[in-house]
Amino acid sequence: MPTPKGVKSHVLLKRLRDILAEQGEGQERLNKITSVIADSMAAEVCSIYLRRDERTLELCATEGLNPESVHQTRLRVGQGLVGRIADRARPFRTKNALSAKGFRFMPETGEEVYSSFLGVPVQRVGEVLGVLVVQNKAERQYTDDEVYGLEVVAMVIAEMAELGAFTAEGQKAMAMPHQRPFHAKGIVGQEGVAEGHVLLHEPHIVIANPVADDPEVEMYRLATAFIELQSEIDDMLSDENLSATGEDRAVFEAYKMFAHDKGWRSRMEDSIVSGLAAEVAVEKEQSNTRTRMERLTDLYLRERLHDLDDLSNRLLRILTGREQNGAEMWEGTILVARNIGPADLLDYGRKLKGVVLEEGSVGSHAVIVARALAIPLVIHAARITRKALNGDEILVDGDAGEAHLRPEESVKLAFHEKVAMREEAQEEYAALRGLPAESKDGVRIKLEMNAGLMNNLPSLESSGAEGVGLFRTELQFLLRSNFPSRSWLADTYSSVLDSAEGLPVTFRTLDIGSDKVLPYMTREEEPNPAMGWRGIRLGLDRPGLMRMQFQTLIRGAKGRPLKVMFPMVAQFDEFREARQRLLDEVAREKKQRHLMPSKLEIGVMLETPSLAFAPDQFFELADFISIGGNDLKQFFFAADRENEHVRRRYDTLNVSFLNFIEQISERCNKFDTPVSFCGEDAGRSLEALAFAAMGLRTLSMRPASIGPIKRLIRFVDLSETKKVIDEARASGSQSVRPALETWLESIGAPHR
């Protein structure tokens, strides 16, 4: 067995375990711990700082400093040497603390007589819970072994904190972990509100005995877990559904490489030799991985560290005998996860009331599925997985992009008032279901819905939508681990038309590439995938794939009308070529005596500014045009919609963008080419009203938006709306939003 690192850490850890087992209050335990550590490390001072709240560290116990300063001395995270350790999640040591950059003098502690300083973060699975410090009067250069030994001790203190070992009665006591309210401010993934209880996609594992009784036994347990982990990955690689050379195989090949990495494993073994249980040794390495991951900007390296993080979770499940996603779902389940794939999210299905993710993006597969299932979703909710426990009460406000964990009564009251107002509005929308979206001056606006799953189709009737303006066919490909068969796809498209019961359905051909990568297709590395090989570009370069989809759409129509449109078209020739290929396929299917669509309409999604300036022949040839607002806006403003720094910088109601929409509408009207607007903005009140005023007569949106948009359109006079917009444009305003809001407020229009 290797020589233990650290300063007699295996002996010290056993003394800490005995303290954990003793009866007594949290403060008493903390005091004993600081005394034992100081004695073991020949330090004159040992202090433990714990997080009082998100931004504050509090001195909770000390051996050597002024005892009167306990629970009185507080530092902000980032302030002083202790605050910097908490902020950076890295150890810090110096022979002369008073001259070290960032040192903050706290006179009440009496620490000015101590020169040497060593502090390490008390962290668990990447979350810093506090800071552990030792100090000496004489200048002393703490060794690497001493740093390592103190880190091992800090890991056990973190586990003890997670178990609630330091809680006690009284005003100064630290609260039990996972009991305080926590507010996560993220961004909107899918609108809506939900109240329920947390289900963690990766449940927390709390380790009751963090100290190893017998390191030999722990080494054996770890070795056995690695054998099982490696076997699991070998089974994945031998799965018949895995492609021979695709990106999915590359992912598992990388997993296999990491699972056999000797350095990764040896670091865990070192921790076991120092006295940690196997689970805590894995967690210690996982914490270090997550700390490194949060400092990286290189996306490739972050992905590789994600692989290590996922493997650590697998090792922990093996060591503790827990199954992934083992928790049962209950009424009002809110899923909380770091991130999640579309297939996993679909497995949970409509039983979910809401979803909160730490990561994700507005165009990710999970967001697409959540929208398809009409599940409120918040993304970029920092630290939510670290703060939540299974069963915790949680409020999800998808409209504001917020989640309230263990909410206070005042927050719950305000939330319930918001829910009541939404329910009242829903009753009003239901009363409008059978009425047209017709303005007071007689302008009829057709409201359609976006869809991508069979689950969406029941919303056609309940929402009052007049058809499906966009059916995303890529979801049938993205949610599978292997390529779908022709017969399955044809049956799926047929079922969609069956469910529509005669209402029009517009099928968009495969929009893959960019962020939508099929798991069984080789991924092309591109510097800017959003403007790269995607949509119609990929389809034209993969004629077999395009032809297969044409065949299944034709066969799925079963003699009914068929509407098909192509995505990401940048020039007339691309549309003309794709259209001709579809017509050729119709001719071949006819020769084979397949039933032909009773009517075929071929259109295009206008998502690139260049297509708006195509030759007149394009507008004459296209049967219809749908403005793809999400992509068009990002290309128009040169602002990536996945980039939070810039995507909110540009307003849809910017005068330049509205002028552009009006130009497209006028050009389509000149050639009697039906034109619609499809995207998130179509379902927002002010935007929808402005698009209608710009001449668009069809809008396609998520089903839940149809009621509010219909109510607003029926309330206003569109000619008056146009005057308000024209006046704002003539005034030199950058956006017409303020003018529209002021006008709608003045007439009492329901627009929020």
Q: Look up the CATH number of the domain holding residue 389.
A: 3.50.30.10
470: pLDDT strictly greater than 50: yes
Q: By the 8 A CB rule, do 374 and 465 touch? A: no
What single-letter DSSP state applies at residue 597?
Answer: P
162: pLDDT strictly greater than 80: no
User: Of the segments 422-436, 469-483, 734-748, which one has the largest average pLDDT value?
Assistant: 734-748
Query: What percentage of the chain has pLDDT greater than the value 70?
Result: 87
Predicted confidence (pLDDT) per residue in 602-630, tens digit: 999 999 999 999 999 999 999 999 999 98
Residue at which a domain ends, from 361, 389, 421:
421
Average pLDDT estimate for 516-524: 61
On whether both 450 and 538 belong to a single domain, the answer is yes
Average pLDDT estimate for 184-199: 90
CA 456 to each of CA 344, 451, 704, 706: distance values in angstroms, whole numbers, following the listed order: 18, 6, 11, 14
Name the residue with tokens 């008056």.
720
Predicted confidence (pLDDT) per residue in 535-584, tens digit: 899 899 999 999 999 999 999 999 999 999 999 999 999 999 999 999 99
The domain in which residue 348 lies consists of: 182-203+326-421
What is the secondary structure of 680-693 as a DSSP string?
GGGGSHHHHHHHHH
| pLDDT confidence of residue 174 | 52
Task: Tell me if 434 is assigned to some domain.
Answer: no
Task: Tell me if 744 is assigned to some domain.
Answer: no
On whether both 349 and 383 belong to a single domain, the answer is yes
d(CA 724, CA 361): 35
Q: Would you place residue 6 in the very low, low, confident or very high pLDDT band (cuts 50, 70, 90)? A: very low
Q: Would you place residue 370 in the very low, low, confident or very high pLDDT band (cuts 50, 70, 90)? A: confident
299: pLDDT strictly greater than 60: no
Average pLDDT estimate for 384-398: 89
Task: Tell me if 525 is assigned to some domain.
Answer: yes
On whether both 471 and 586 belong to a single domain, the answer is yes
What single-letter DSSP state applies at residue 170?
Answer: S
Q: Would you place residue 7 in the very low, low, confident or very high pLDDT band (cuts 50, 70, 90)? A: very low
Predicted confidence (pLDDT) per residue in 658-672, tens digit: 999 999 999 999 999
Q: By the 8 A CB rule, do 280 and 159 touch? A: yes
On whether both 507 and 656 belong to a single domain, the answer is yes
| pLDDT confidence of residue 608 | 96
687: pLDDT strictly greater than 80: yes
d(CA 619, CA 743): 35
Three-state SS across 280-340?
HHHHHHHHHHHHHHHHCCCHHHHHHHHHHHHHHHHHHHHHHCCCCCCCCCCCCEEEEECCC
Predicted confidence (pLDDT) per residue in 66-89, tens digit: 999 999 999 999 999 999 999 998
Residue at which a domain ends, from 280, 295, 320:
320
Judging by DSSP bridges, how do beta strands 92-94 and 116-124 pair with one another?
A: antiparallel
On whether both 491 and 526 belong to a single domain, the answer is yes
On whether both 154 and 186 belong to a single domain, the answer is no
Tell me how many domains the chain contains: 4
On whether both 603 and 631 belong to a single domain, the answer is yes
Residue at which a domain ends, from 99, 134, 162:
162
CATH number at residue 269: 1.10.274.10
Task: Tell me if 706 is assigned to some domain.
Answer: no
Task: Tell me if 725 is assigned to some domain.
Answer: no
Residue 481 vs residue 366, higher pLDDT: 366
Task: Tell me if 698 is assigned to some domain.
Answer: no
Name the residue among 6, 58, 16, 68 with its Cα closest to residue 37: 16
On whether both 668 and 539 belong to a single domain, the answer is yes
CATH number at residue 664: 3.20.20.60
Instruction: Please identify every residue annotated as catalytic.
Output: 365, 678
Predicted confidence (pLDDT) per residue in 201-212, tens digit: 876 676 767 888
pTM of the model: 0.69
Cα within 13 Å of Cα(316), Cβ side: 23
State the amino acid at position 520 in one-letter form: Y
Alpha helices in 124-259 (DSSP H): 144-162, 215-237, 247-259
CA 440 to each of CA 437, 692, 707, 728: distance values in angstroms, whole numbers, following the listed order: 10, 13, 17, 22
Name the residue among 161, 100, 103 with its Cα closest to residue 130: 161
On whether both 150 and 192 belong to a single domain, the answer is no
| Both structure tokens of 187 | 């961004």
Three-class DSSP category at 123: strand
d(CA 88, CA 123): 11
169: pLDDT strictly greater than 70: no
On whether both 247 and 368 belong to a single domain, the answer is no
Interhelix angle 278-295/262-273, rounded to 10 degrees, is: 130
711: pLDDT strictly greater than 90: yes
| Both structure tokens of 732 | 């030199």
On whether both 662 and 623 belong to a single domain, the answer is yes
Alpha helices in 514-643 (DSSP H): 536-541, 543-557, 572-591, 616-621, 629-637
Q: Would you place residue 26 in the very low, low, confident or very high pLDDT band (cuts 50, 70, 90)? A: confident
Predicted confidence (pLDDT) per residue in 104-160, tens digit: 889 999 988 999 999 999 988 778 889 999 999 999 889 888 888 888 888 888 877
Task: Tell me if 231 is assigned to some domain.
Answer: yes
Task: Tell me if 710 is assigned to some domain.
Answer: no
Lowest mean pLDDT among 382-391, 610-619, 643-652: 643-652
CA dihedral 217, 220, 226, 228 (to 10 degrees): -100
CA angle 511, 513, 519 (to 5 degrees): 105
On whether both 286 and 187 belong to a single domain, the answer is no
| pLDDT confidence of residue 322 | 66
What is the distance between the terminal CA atoms of the chain, rounded to a whole angstrom? 68
Q: Would you place residue 484 in the very low, low, confident or very high pLDDT band (cuts 50, 70, 90)? A: confident
